[in-house]
Structure 1
């Protein structure tokens, strides 16, 4: 049996909200929880949650996971990189949450500024709907 190739489907309103939130938080990083579902390797993101008690500065954003209500619709996180690089840092990988990490690079303007990664640091294709 072959390995399932993962991909991310990002709904337009969610994409627009992520870009707006990242712009609003700049020059600090912004962080959001992704809501959706995963089926047969396709991670569909159709909602966002601002994590309670989140904190950020110009090089890090996080939140205490112990304050999150239990919710099976959480599929990952999105956060911005004000530096302009969309590659996950070592810290990003150590704080991985869910199935996917979306990293948005400055200037947070277009689809090409949005990247998705799995927990091993592999890039995942994004389909914008």
Structure 2
């Protein structure tokens, strides 16, 4: 439990910009991306993004078939947008949790204040934004 309370997410500038741009492009539909990076001693560092193959989305959902993903140990989670409402994870979000972290971006996707991180139990994680 002590480890869990120290877990943090470091989001580099390039993926931050890519996330915000992608969410704006997909709006008013949800967008979904795979987060790539590494995890060490409770620090999850996100340094790049992948558009999942055969991803799909609508105004209230986004997803992708996991079976088409190549095996890659650098996948650390997913990010998706919530075009309306809060950035809290839904039951469906939690049932489809992938990796170590889930980022949710709420509209209007303007800056880091619109991005929130969650663990697989639905607990909020601190995000550190890095250049």
The two structures have a TM-score, normalised by structure 1, of 0.98
What is the 5 A alignment of 1:78-89?
78-89=79-90
CA distance in 2 between counterparts of 1:74 and 1:114 reads 19
Tell me, yes or no, if the aligned pair for 1:103 and 1:114 is still in contact at 8 Å.
yes
Deviations 1:19-73 (A, max 9, x none): 0000000000000000000000000000000000000000000000000000000
Deviation at 1:85, TM superposition (A): 1.1
Q: Which digits, 9 at most, give the CA deviation of each residue in 1:65-111, with x for residues without a partner?
A: 00000000000000000013100000000000000000000000011
* CA distance in 1 between partners of 2:7 and 2:58 (Å): 31
1:75 aligns to what?
76
What is the SS of the residue equivalent to 1:125?
strand
Show structure 2 runs of 5+ residues with no match: none
Residues 116 and 123 of structure 1 are in contact (CA less than 8 Å); yes or no, is this contact kept in structure 2? yes
Q: Could you tell me which residue of structure 2 aligns to residue 24 of structure 1? A: 25
Over 6 Å off, 4+ runs: none
Alignment gaps of 5+ in structure 1: none
TM-score scaled to structure 2, two decimals? 0.96
Which position in structure 1 is the counterpart of 2:96? 95
Is the Cα contact below 8 Å between 1:100 and 1:119 reproduced in 2? yes
Does 2:112 match 1:111?
A: yes
CA distance in 1, matches of 2:48, 2:124: 21
Aligned pairs for 1:8-47 (under 5 A) are: 8-47=9-48
Partner in structure 1 of residue 2 of structure 2:
3
